[in-house]
Amino acid sequence: MSERSERDGGPYRAGFACFVGRPNAGKSTLTNAIVGQKIAITSNKPQTTRHIIRAVLHRPDSQLVLVDTPGLHRPRTLLGERLNDLVRQTWSEVDVIGLCIPADEAIGRGDRFITGELAELKATVLAVVTKTDLVDRKRLAEQLVAVSELGEFAEVVPVSAVSGHQVDTLVEVMTRYLPESPQLYPDDMLTDDPEQVLVAELIREAALEGVRDELPHSIAVVVEEMIPEGQLIKIYADVYVERSSQKGIVIGHRGSRLKAVGTAARRQIEELLGTRVYLDLHVRVAQDWQRDPKQLRKLGF
């Protein structure tokens, strides 16, 4: 029992929760909306999230630790297999799981497959109907009925991360199913991830923006150095692609695309770190890195 719970009279709850679902179900956007700050990168492409990122939501009576995971998908590479293993390991360790199903898409085979996998776990499973801002009331009502018939859920909660509708309600519901526990993280901790991982993810998000259709999975980013110099942090990072032809796509005509990536990423990184940033980006080729165990290790997978 924590000091806080004794002071406030009710039990203090703390634990881990994660959102799961097929790619592009709104998991990372929802994580960011709940924490109120950008922790997880978002994109409309599968495999956007590649690292397990923990974001901590502090409330007077609880601490909700949100674990952002990659989407479960049909793996085509060694990287894909490793990401799926990572997802399943996370599922087995959290207290609450929110299965995200978009309000504007029919329930598919992927949703049924994931629901079946979740039924084997000890965690409390909620269904979260995301993107409610994209449908009218009638469509939402139909989707809520369809989702409730999909499996045995503790509760079904409709939510919009974009408009903020019902985000607080979802937090209340998730917290209710956390175990009684003392605080797990200090008050000022927003995430337990090294800054270098978050910075690399923001650079990768900016790099994905312009080449979404051409090479969504082929980009990886490694931050080599972060050096504080007075009021500035100098960041040296390498953007990896799988083939020489892709290098030209990322750099763009006379370096125009890489420059745009640097500008967009620097803005986000300065917001994250709260300081001015000098960002030095280089594009390198790591041949077929998604299929090569040695390259995967080097790139942090």
Binding residues for GTP: 21-28, 68-72, 130-133
Q: Which residues are annotated binding-site positions?
A: 21-28, 68-72, 130-133
State how far the Cα of 23 lies from the Cα of 201, in Å rounded to an integer. Answer: 17
Long-range contacts of 230-234 (CB under 8 A, 24+ apart): 231/275, 231/276, 232/275, 232/276, 232/277, 232/278, 233/273, 233/275, 233/276, 233/277, 233/278, 234/277, 234/278, 234/280
State how far the Cα of 70 lies from the Cα of 50, in Å rounded to an integer. Answer: 5
State how far the Cα of 127 lies from the Cα of 21, in Å rounded to an integer. Answer: 10
State how far the Cα of 46 lies from the Cα of 58, in Å rounded to an integer. Answer: 30
Contacts of 123 by beta carbon, 8 Å cutoff, 6+ apart: 91, 94, 95, 96, 97
The CA distances from residue 203 to 68, 103, 187, 274, in Å, are 18, 30, 28, 16
Do the beta carbons of residue 28 and residue 180 sit within 8 Å? no
